[in-house]
Amino acid sequence: MQEPFQIPGYTFVSKIAEGGMATVWKARQEKLDRVVAVKVLMKDMDASPDVFQRFIYEARAAASLIHPNVVQVIDAGEQDHFMYYIMEYVPGMTAGDAIENGRPMKEKQLLRIAREVAEALDYAWQEHHVVHCDIKPDNLLLHRNGRTKVADLGLAQVTGIAAVEIEEGMTLGTPNYFPPEQALVEDNLDCRADMYALGATLYHLGTGQVPFGEDDPETVAAHQVHSQLPNPRELNPALSWGLTCLIERLMAKKANDRYQDWADVLEDIHAVEEGRLIPYPLNESVKSTVMHLEPPIREARVARPAGAIKVPVHRQKAALKISVQDAEAMHARRQVHAKPANIWPRVLALGFVVVLMYTFTVLRMQGAL
């Protein structure tokens, strides 16, 4: 094939993906004889200078993150007609491709993706104060070895550092997944924005339905601020109660009502993976984009003791993290060790009947004699 671009030391193989502003190509790095991915942005495209600045910003943001669940940038450069950066090649598909036919993912795979993405975003936030700002199924690459890789940091923001300027009032990101504060173009985004997007991503992967469907971007953004979605368990009853609680809290309308750090998110993901229940995420005064669904009676008995809503979250976790199986085992132990009932009244009654029958029999025999 005739190479579409010329980058010294690289041979282009085939196109992987194409977006609104850039294309991604599979290529071979000649010196190291390895396959890489090359993201290319043409200079002659009809775009403002900010687009090119953001492309450079994306490359630098990605290059700063060294984590097994983040696509690693190897190099970047510029030619006469295009700009590019080179990154590791991830063989496999995106999470969006995995459910293209509308069939939801199995919960085990869904939770693994959630855990690995949360670990990557926790690292990005803790070590570099990076907020991704565009977490969605199409930006999660599923390596053939099972590992999830977070890609496309084109909209990432670094807290405390001036990012690339955008037009005033312009909303960046994907409306079906971004949080209300991003829809309202607030400038104080933090890691909780990515938490909401992760919740919306899990909603899509777990139900097969895109949050707020195919409406135009402005309408979808308004829905993120004001509307609600059916509970994922109503759309896919196979989802566990713990996972629906996790999604409900991740997608709280207000950032202060979500988890306050990724460590707490990861703790609850581990709990759900182990089959344990997690605390009710929200009380009646808090609104989530996901409609609340009362749990089955037996789960509610374990998951929501009286007055639990008024207990701080960290106290709830200590009190409520007990599985239904644990509760049933505890009940069985109590039955084994329960005190025997008082049987003396029954013994006395039986003795009285025996004596009476014996006396009657003796009297009849004496009468016969």
Is the domain covering 10-88 a CATH 3.30.540.10 domain? no
What average pLDDT does this structure show over 332-360?
A: 64
Q: Tell me the mean pLDDT in the region 103-121.
A: 97
Rounded Cα gap, residues 29 and 86, in angstroms: 10
Dihedral angle of Cα 11, 14, 17, 20, to the nearest 10 degrees = 70
* CATH number of 93-327, picked from 3.40.50.150, 3.40.640.10, 1.10.645.10, 1.10.510.10: 1.10.510.10
CA–CA dist 269, 304 (Å, integer): 19
CB 15, CB 25: distance < 8 Å:
yes
Predicted structure pTM score: 0.76
List CB contacts of 3: < 8 A, sequence separation 6 or more: 11, 12
DSSP 201: H
Q: What is the distance between the alpha carbons of residues 327 and 277, in angstroms, rounded to a whole number?
A: 11
Residue 134 known to be catalytic: yes
Helices 107-128 and 191-207, interaxial angle, to 10°?
Answer: 170
Of the candidates 66, 180, 182, 89, the residue with the CA atom closest to the CA atom of residue 131: 182
Q: How many Cα atoms occupy the beta-carbon half-sphere of 24 within 13 Å? A: 16
- Residue closest to 320 by CA, chosen among 241, 238, 206: 241
Whole-angstrom Cα distance, residue 262 to residue 254? Answer: 16
Which tokens is 76 given? 């970047």
Tell me the residue length of the chain. 369
Q: Where does the pLDDT of residue 139 fall: very low under 50, low under 70, confident under 90, or very high at 90 and above? A: very high
265 is written with which tokens? 């998110």
Dihedral in degrees, nearest 10, Cα atoms 237, 243, 246, 252: -20
What are the domain boundaries of the chain?
A: 10-88, 93-327
Asked if 189 and 182 count as a contact pair (C-beta separation under 8 A), the reply is yes
- The catalytically annotated residue of 50, 97, 122, 134 is 134
Q: What band does 332 get if pLDDT is binned at 50, 70 and 90?
A: very low
Q: Is 261 or 156 the better-scoring residue by pLDDT?
A: 261
Mean pLDDT, residues 20-25: 84
Structure letter (DSSP) for residue 188? -
Residue 169 pLDDT greater than 70, yes or no: no
- Kindly tell me the burial class for residue 248, based on how many C-beta atoms sit within 10 Å of its own C-beta (0-12, 13-18, 19 or more): buried
Average pLDDT over residues 125-135: 91
Q: Could you give the 3-state DSSP secondary structure of residue 349? A: helix
Top-ranked range on mean pLDDT: pick from 16-30, 249-263, 295-309: 249-263
Average the pLDDT over 122-132 and give the result: 92
Is 305:295 a contact under the CB 8 Å cutoff? Answer: no
